[in-house]
Chain A
């Protein structure tokens, strides 16, 4: 069964803290995307991973294919990072369909 699980569901952090959001999936994938959904609803793509690690500014995303797990890290968190972070997975056995985690709602307090 194709499943995507994210944790935690909700996360509150103080400004400056290091944040980790986790995504686990059930079977082999061809791609994993991390998305950011702002309070107004707009969705922005942050990373696409098929292996290894990517970094953009204060954001780092890693994936372990063998363990079927990905993490999104935010260093030196800031209130403007407050958003919902979503893991989206394209499984190898499901054609073009993407499966989404339920999202992690992050609030960074000044």
Chain B
């Protein structure tokens, strides 16, 4: 079946503009994660959605970052007033269900490469 998809694959924007990144998880996956990977650095957790529960936003770096997910479908990550330090690959991952202990396999999307000029 189809894997996790993300769009756009690449995005170039000017400093100060808003951007919206999209993630389509695998159908039936209740859990969805957003991560950021800056050039030459490790992955950073941003936000976690599980079903209709309130999202875990503990990884969002500033109030310019927000994310939404409707039910168990598409998620969007929005970055307002982009800064050059926001340049990174933004990765989305989904998993079938969660035991609450993080033991489920995560399936990663190909990422969106964001460049802020």
| Residues of A close to B52: CB separation below 8 A | none
| Given known A-B contacts A43-B91, A102-B42, A95 and B103 have beta carbons under 8 A apart | no
- 27 A/B residue pairs, CB under 8 Å, sorted by A: A30-B101, A41-B89, A41-B111, A43-B91, A43-B93, A44-B108, A45-B105, A48-B103, A48-B105, A50-B101, A90-B101, A95-B58, A96-B48, A96-B50, A96-B56, A96-B58, A96-B98, A96-B102, A97-B45, A97-B56, A97-B58, A98-B33, A98-B45, A98-B102, A100-B43, A100-B44, A102-B42
B104 at the interface (CB under 8 A from A): yes
| Residues of A close to B108: CB separation below 8 A | 35, 42-45
In angstroms, Cα B103 to Cα A87, docked, is 14
| Residues of B close to A90: CB separation below 8 A | 101-103
